[in-house]
Structures are given as structure tokens and as C-alpha cells.
Amino acid sequence: MSAIQKIMGIVWAAMGVGIVPLAIRQAMTEIAKKPSEENWIFWSIVIVVLMPIIAFSLITFGVFALKGEYDDIN
Amino acid sequence: MAQNVSASHTEEVSSTRRVIAASSVGTLIEWYDFYIFGSLAKIISEQFFPKDNPTAALLATLATFAAGFVVRPFGALFFGRLGDLIGRKYTFLVTLVIMGGSTFVIGLVPGYAQIGFWAPAIVFVLRLLQGLALGGEYGGAATYVAEHSPDNQRGYWTSFIQTTATFGLFISLGVILAVRQTLGLETFNDWGWRVPFLLSIFLVGVSVFIRMKMSESPLFAKLKKEGKTSANPLAESFQKKDNLKMVLLALLGATAGQGVVWYTGQFYALSFLQNACNVEFVQSNIIISIALVIGTPFFVIFGSLSDKIGRKWIMMAGMLIAVVSYRPIYTVMYDAANLKKKTEITEKTVIEHKAEVKGTDSLKTTITKKVFTDGTTFKETKKEKFPVDPAAKAALPKDKLKPETKKETVLPQDIFMKMIGLVFIQVIFVTMVYGPIAAFLVELFPTRIRYTSMSLPYHIGNGVFGGLVPLISTRLVEATRPGPDLPPSDPLAGLWYPILIAAVSCVIGVLYMKNRPTAIETE
């Protein structure tokens, strides 16, 4: 179980890192395609609120998992 | 001797019941206050946030989103810290007073027509205060009840707190409908909408009175007496690796998944019935209300079950079943109301036309009524408004001339019951993930920083991940629309967001969380 937890730690951290450029690129494309106020508000919420929370928590959690911080919980 | 033991046990049970009642009623009122703003959003928008004023419109958007996404977690930090420093009892008394006071004052604020820009500005600030108070309330109530509960019944006792969010939604809908029915639609839209807000002060007054009589949580009181309370709960909660890792586990492995399942089963289901299935307003609300009422006891059932078999597997099972069954459930819901799959009784079709002139505008209304062989009825109201003057009409852009269309489907009894059943199944998922979660969160953190540590992941999971379900799901559906006036090619696309979040949360929970409840006194 511990090995799987550690391997999956890499996956979580990679997801956290990957989501940043992905979300920013998507936001820029969508806003360029249709620069409406509605679009700005939606992508601002995604980039300013949701993305940082997902990225920070997944990266930190992934690193903790990789270091075996959760081994003693079960 | 036996009599003494029995009397002491009876007193203990009665005391625990008082603790639960005092905490649950207050939390229920806070949810009620928070929801009436959302349920009356349309009227509030007309009264305080006129669309033709861009600043007011921006404030309206911010009031909607900021209260849920930004202020709730901030309230969790602010009041969580306070609760760990000065105590649970006084902190969640303060949140209750702030919430009740803000709600009451919203009911008193004059409209935009009377005081101009001050109206949206005041309402905006009051809405932020509501979000702030809500952020502090839940953690306090859950912690307070948990710290009074015996270890082997913590899931059961805290599950009463878990019913309050659903009951709060139900009561807010009930009060609004009752006031609307009593006063009539016109009076309600004029001033009657203020009544549910004003009513809050009495509810809060009663709740404050009850809570004032309660004593501090025994665990916190003991810590305080021994001088072992935390000097800096924020730093201890989020700067110490041993605690931060549990905060992250709570967020990613439990509350994020719980938040999306909770919002999908209640709010998204209602929105889907009204917008994708076009089910008429009152009927769709009745479907949700009945499903909520039947489903609510399951919060207690799953909370209690978690004391016996553990919290983890109940919550994970709820998420997993939701992930695999959302699309099939919504497919059945969509098909059950899909008019293309029904046979129309053409001889019963009625089309009415009405034309009138209002000032310089001409208003043309077309009402089409259809009846189907299974008993479904459908009504489409199309309103076209354009200037009487042909030159002025020609000068208008095309989108201004687009007719306003309202579609309403009334389902026959058997499909109505089927819809209740399908929403009820989703409410069961909600009760599985939400029933045991208060006990689970409480047991993750030590008493000295419990309020702070459990409040933040709860409000990020519920407020941010869950609160974004309507917004993101609507966008996902819109993205499948081939053209501006064409229907979406995948009306179920909105489900991918809750499915993805719940799936990730489920994998993390299964891999990293422990199952058995912990004795919180012996940490």
C-alpha cells in the first residue's frame, strides 16, 4: 500500500503542476474567442480561485505522499 | 446504586440532546438565512441591482460568488482561530448574531429606486457578512457537538448537524412559498419578499437565547483550564507539516468530493429539471422538496452506521456510486421529460396569439399548448418586443429582436413519481458522503486547533469545489451547443465536473484515509 501511495504521490503532484499552464492557456483561448464580460468573470474565477487551490493542494499533497508522510495513518 | 447510575445516564442523554438541539437549530437558521438570499436572487436583483447600471450589476455578480467562494473560507479562518483561542460557545454565538443581524437588515434596506447606489453597496456588504458568518458557524457547531459526544456515538450525534444544510434549504423554500401564497404574487414582489428576511431575527433571537444557556465544550474547557490552548491556531494548523498534511487529506480525500456530490444531488438536480427538462417551476421544486424530506433521515442513518463500520468506506462508497451512476440517472431523467420521445395528441394542440402596444413598443405573445399521450402537457410562451416605428425597429441589432421564450413541461403522476425517485437516489449519495463527514473531520485534528483546522477544508470543499458546480456545469453544457440558437448536443456534459472531482477525491480517500473512528479525548 505504501508503495502505491508514494507512486500516486507523483501523479498528484504532476496533475497539480500540469493544471496551471492548461488552465491559463484555455482561459486565454476562450477569452480571445469571445471577450464578453461573462467569459471574463468565469475564467477569472477559475484562474484566481479554483486553479491555485487545486494546484497548491495537489502539489503539496503529492510531495507529502511521495515522502511517505501518510504511511503512518493506516 | 443502580437507580443513581440510571438517573445519571438519563441526565447525560438529556444534556447531549440539549447540546445537539441548541447547535443544530442555530446552524439550521444560518443555512436558512444564507439560502433565502439565493432563492430570492431574482427579486433582490430587481430591487437592488438594476441591470442597466453596470456597477450595480457587477456588485450583484460579486455578491453571488464572493460570499460563497472567498468569504466563506476566510470566515472559516477568522472564526476558527477565534474558536480555538477563546472557545467554541462564544464564537458560534457571534457567527449566529452576525448572520441573523445581516439577514434582518437586508430585509430593511430601501431599494435602488429610493437610495440609489447605496442600496446595492449595503446589500453587498451584508451578503459578505453572511458568508463570513457561515464560514465560522459550521466548524463551531460540529466541533461543539463532537466534543460533547461519546466516542462510539460521535457519527450519530454530529449527523444531526449534517441535516441542517438540507433542512435549511427546505425551510427557506417553504417559508418563501408560504409567504408568497399568503400575500399574493404582486404584494410579494412589492414588499412581501422582505418577510422571510425579517423573520430571521426572531429565529436567531430564540437560538441565541438557547445557546447562551449552554456551557463551553468540556474538552476545550479542560484545555483552557490547564493552559494548553493554542497561542496561534493558524500557524499551528497550516504551518506545521503534521497538521497541514491532514488538512490537505481532508480537502482532497473527503470535502472536495463531498462538496460536488452535495451540490449535484440538490442544486444541480433542480437546475437540470428546470433548464434541461423544462419541468415547470412549482412541480420541479416539489420534486426536489419531497426527495429532500424523504432522504434527510439517512444523514442520521449513515452517521450512526459510521460509528459501527467506520467513516471512510461509507463516504467513499457514496462518491463511487455517484461517479458511476450520475450519467445513467440523468439520462433517465432527461428521457422521461424528453418531448421528442413522446407522442403528441395533435388535435389537442392550441396556439394563442396576443398583440398589444405598450408606449412606443409593440408586444407580440404566442402561447402554444400541447398534450401528449402519456399525460404530459407542454406550454411554450414566446414574447417578441419591438418598436412600433418600423425605422426604429430596423435600426435595432438582431439580438435585441430575439423573442424571449419560456418552456414549461408538466409531468404526469407516474413520471413525477419517477423523478422524485431519481432525485431521492442522489440525495442518498449526499447523505452517504455528508452524514459521517463532521465526525470524520473532527477526529482528524487535535482539540487545541480543531475549529480552525476542520473549518477551512470544509468550506473550500463545500464552498469552492461544490459551489462551482452550477457555474462550471452550465459552461460545460454550453460548450456542446453547435450554434447560438441550437440545443446542446450533450445536455449531460455538465456532469463531467462533479464526476471528475468526486473520482479523484474517491481515489485519494481510498488510498490515504483510515477507516476507524478515533477517540478524540486521548490524542
Tell me which long-range contacts B143-146 makes (C-beta under 8 A, separation of at least 24): B143/B83, B143/B88, B143/B217, B143/B442, B143/B450, B143/B451, B143/B454, B144/B19, B144/B23, B144/B88, B144/B89, B144/B92, B144/B217, B145/B19, B145/B20, B145/B23, B145/B24, B145/B438, B146/B438, B146/B439, B146/B442, B146/B443, B146/B520
Please say if the pLDDT value at position B187 is more than 70: yes
Give Cα separations from B69 to B19, B135, B500 (angstroms).
30, 10, 20
Let me know: does B285 contact B39? Beta carbons within 8 Å.
no
pLDDT-derived band at A18, boundaries 50, 70, 90 = very high
Q: Is A74 inside any structural domain?
A: no
Between CA B140 and CA B90 the distance in angstroms is 10
Nearest beta carbon to residue A64 from set B245, B475, B507: B245
CB pairs under 8 A between A and B: 49
Q: Which helix (H) or strand (E) holds B318?
A: helix B312-337
Contact with chain A for residue B514, Cβ under 8 A? yes
Average pLDDT of chain A, as a whole number: 91
Q: Is A52 inside any structural domain?
A: yes
Contact with chain B for residue A51, Cβ under 8 A? no
Q: Closest approach of chain A CAs to the CA of B513, in angstroms?
A: 7
Let me know: does B520 contact B442? Beta carbons within 8 Å.
yes
Nearest beta carbon to residue B464 from set A12, A50, A70: A50
Q: Is A72 inside any structural domain?
A: no
Average pLDDT of chain B, as a whole number: 88
Q: Closest approach of chain B CAs to the CA of A70, in angstroms?
A: 7
Kindly determine whether residue A58 and residue B512, on different chains, have CB atoms separated by under 8 Å.
no
Q: Above pLDDT 90, what percent of chain B?
A: 49
Between CA B61 and CA B75 the distance in angstroms is 20
Q: Does domain B1-229 have CATH number 1.20.1250.20?
A: yes
How many domains in chain A? 1
pLDDT at residue B348 in the model = 93
pLDDT at residue B10 in the model = 64
Average pLDDT for B457-471 = 90
Please say if the pLDDT value at position B444 is more than 50: yes
pLDDT-derived band at B204, boundaries 50, 70, 90 = confident
Comparing A20-29, B113-122, B397-406, the range with the smallest average pLDDT is: B397-406
CATH-assigned architecture of domain B241-342+411-523? Up-down Bundle (1.20)
Best residue of B74, B243, B445, B512 to probe chain A, by most A CBs closer than 10 Å: B512
Kindly determine whether residue A49 and residue B70, on different chains, have CB atoms separated by under 8 Å.
yes
Q: Is A46 inside any structural domain?
A: yes
pLDDT-derived band at A15, boundaries 50, 70, 90 = very high
Match 433517465 to its residue by C-alpha cell.
Answer: B332
Interface of A with B in 14-33 (CB under 8 A): none
Domain ranges of chain B: 1-229, 241-342+411-523, 346-410
